[in-house]
Chain A
Amino acid sequence: DTGVSQDPRHKITKRGQNVTFRCDPISEHNRLYWYRQTLGQGPEFLTYFQNEAQLEKSRLLSDRFSAERPKGSFSTLEIQRTEQGDSAMYLCASTKDRANYGYTFGSGTRLTVV
Chain B
Amino acid sequence: GQSLEQPSEVTAVEGAIVQINCTYQTSGFYGLSWYQQHDGGAPTFLSYNALDGLEETGRFSSFLSRSDSYGYLLLQELQMKDSASYFCAVRGQAGTALIFGKGTTLSVSS
User: Do A45 and B98 form a contact, CB below 8 Å, given A99-B30, A99-B91, A102-B48?
Assistant: yes
Binds B, one of A17-25, A35-43, A73-81: A35-43
**Is B41 part of the binding interface, using a Cβ–Cβ cutoff of 8 Å?**
yes
Please tell me the size bucket of the interface on B. Answer: 20 to 34
**A102 to B33, Cβ gap below 8 A?**
yes
Select one of A41, A48, A108 contacting B42, CB under 8 A: A108
Q: Mark B17-44, 1 if CB is under 8 A from A, else 0.
A: 0000000000000110101000001111
Determine whether the beta carbon of B102 is less than 8 Å from that of A43. no
| Residues of A within 8 A of B (CB-CB), count | 23
Residue B71 is within 8 A (CB to CB) of chain A in the complex: no
Minimal beta-carbon separation of B94 from chain A (angstroms) = 7
Which residue of chain B is the closest to A55 with respect to CB atoms? Answer: B95
Residues of B within 8 A of A104 (CB): 45
Q: How far is B89's CA from A93's CA once the two chains are assembled, in angstroms?
A: 14
- B47 — nearest CB in chain A belongs to which residue? A102
Q: Mark A71-114, 1 if CB is under 8 A from B, else 0.
A: 00000000000000000000101000001101111111000000
Contacts of B33 in A (CB 8 A): 102
Q: A43-87 toward B: CB 8 Å interface, digit per residue (1/0)?
A: 111001010000110000000000000000000000000000000
User: What 5 A-B pairs have minimum CB-CB distances, sorted nearest first?
Assistant: A102-B45, A42-B100, A105-B42, A100-B48, A48-B97
User: B residues near A, CB below 8 A?
Assistant: 30-31, 33, 35, 41-46, 48, 50, 87, 89, 91, 94-103
Q: 14 A–B contact pairs at CB < 8 A? A: A35-B100, A42-B87, A42-B89, A45-B98, A91-B43, A93-B43, A99-B50, A100-B31, A100-B50, A102-B46, A102-B48, A104-B45, A105-B43, A106-B42
